[in-house]
Each structure stands twice: as structure tokens, then as C-alpha cells.
């Protein structure tokens, strides 16, 4: 019987990190198997790749839910049901643009991770690449961390640095960081699955 952990990836858009994880998990000795991709929106670009790769997909459409605590819990209950149906053991957030309830996060404590395009704890929250440029730092990068109820605040699993060049725009810096993300996330997931 396979000892690979059953992993779900949660996305909202392009899904390039999802793709990097799916491709890495094709290696026979990779410790995780991607068994499900869940999107918070039906038109996420990443769903197409997941489908073409033969991976089960589900949509829990955030448009059907409001922003109250009750809505958040209802959303997370549907998400939990999708994860349970697929017997998921570990969750990777990859550009998932919805804040999860603290109940959900606590339930998955130690088994849910995220990638963020800055060297946390620097530049938490939205547009971290623009924050890095505004702060005129010389080095930025990306972080894979455990998810805790506080946003972008959980323990770091792995980080990768990239230079910030004098003529960088948000776009050029984001592209450089994204290339590093695609290398970092599969390695960090491997490390987290070994714990
Ligand atoms: C990445 O920069 C990731 O770090 C951030 O959202 C972006 C998602 O990109 N959380 P993609 O959907 O993986 O291409």
C-alpha cells in the first residue's frame, strides 16, 4: 500500500504553484500524492491544468457566500466536506484568496501550509512585492509557512531569497520571486511531509 500522504491544493487563480507541486509529485519517490485541487472560483485558470493532469477538482464558489462569521463557517464546512470526501491528509494553499476560519485552521493545525511572496515576517498581507519595492530592500523572496489563524504569521518551513534590482518593477520582481516559489514549494512540502 502507498505511504504517500494524500494532499489537496487550494487555489483561486492562475495556479502556477499548484502546477509546480503536481509536477514534483509525479516523481515516484515524492512523499505526497496530489489527490484534489479545490478552487474558490469556477473560472480559475489552474483548474484547466489540474483537469488535464487527471486530478480530481472541486469548486467551492466564494461568490455564493457573504463575509459574516456565519458565511465563513458555512464556506469552510463545504470545503471540509470536499477534503473529507477525498480523504485528504495535508493541505497546501497556493494563491487561495479567501481567509479561512480559525476553527478550520485549528482543525488542520500542522497539516496546512501556504506560500507567500516575501521573506516573512517582512511584508505580510497584500501586494508584498510592491511593499518590498516601496521599502527599497535589496533582497526579497518567498516563504513557505504553516498556516495559523493570524494571516501570514505561522512558523516558517523554508525560504528562498532573490535580489531586488535597481530597475525592478512590481512585475519583474514578482516574476523573479515566482520562479523561486516554483522551486521552493515542492521542496518545502516534502520537508513538511517528513515531519
Ligand atoms: C503566488 O505569488 C503566491 O505566493 C501567492 O499568490 C500567488 C499565486 O500564484 N500566495 P499562482 O496562482 O500559484 O500562479
pLDDT tens digits along 82-126 = 999 999 999 999 999 999 999 999 999 999 999 999 999 999 999
**What's domain 115-195's superfamily in CATH?**
Formyl transferase, N-terminal domain (3.40.50.170)
d(CA 165, CA 36): 38
> Which atom of ligand 1 is nearest to 181's Cα?
4
Any idea which residue has 469552510 for its cell? 76
**In the chain, what are the helix, strand and coil shares in percent, each to the nearest 5?**
35, 20, 40
Contact 188, 154 (CB under 8 A): no
pLDDT per residue over 138-193, tens digit each?
999 999 999 999 999 999 999 999 999 999 999 999 999 999 999 999 999 999 99
Furthest-apart CA atoms within the chain: distance in Å = 53
Cα–Cα dist 91/75, whole Å: 16
Residue 157 has a pLDDT of 98
pTM assigned to the model: 0.97
Domain 1-108 is classified in which CATH homologous superfamily?
Formyl transferase, N-terminal domain (3.40.50.170)
Q: Is 181 in the pocket of ligand 1 (CB under 6 A)?
A: yes
* CATH 3.40.50.170 domain residues, the chain: 1-108, 115-195
Annotated catalytic residue within 72, 116, 145, 182: 116
Quote the pLDDT of residue 1.
52
Amino acid at each position: 500500500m502507498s505511504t504517500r500522504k494524500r494532499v489537496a491544493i487550494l487555489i483561486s487563480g492562475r495556479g502556477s504553484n499548484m502546477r509546480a507541486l503536481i509536477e514534483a509529485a509525479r516523481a515516484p519517490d515524492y512523499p505526497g500524492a496530489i489527490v484534489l485541487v479545490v478552487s474558490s472560483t469556477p473560472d480559475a485558470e489552474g483548474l484547466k491544468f489540474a483537469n488535464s493532469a487527471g486530478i480530481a477538482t472541486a469548486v467551492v464558489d466564494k461568490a455564493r457566500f457573504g463575509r459574516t462569521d456565519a458565511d465563513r463557517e458555512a464556506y469552510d464546512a463545504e470545503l471540509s466536506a470536499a477534503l473529507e470526501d477525498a480523504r485528504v491528509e495535508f493541505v497546501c494553499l497556493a494563491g487561495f484568496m479567501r481567509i479561512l476560519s480559525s476553527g478550520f485552521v485549528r482543525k488542520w493545525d500542522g497539516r496546512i501550509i501556504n506560500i507567500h511572496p516575501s521573506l516573512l515576517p517582512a511584508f505580510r498581507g497584500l501586494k508584498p512585492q510592491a511593499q518590498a519595492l516601496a521599502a527599497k530592500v535589496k533582497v526579497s523572496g518567498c516563504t513557505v509557512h504553516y498556516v495559523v489563524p493570524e494571516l501570514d504569521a505561522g512558523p516558517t518551513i523554508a525560504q528562498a531569497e532573490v535580489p531586488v534590482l535597481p530597475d525592478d518593477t512590481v512585475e519583474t520582481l514578482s516574476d523573479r520571486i515566482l520562479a523561486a516559489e516554483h522551486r521552493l514549494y515542492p521542496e518545502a512540502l516534502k520537508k513538511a511531509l517528513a515531519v
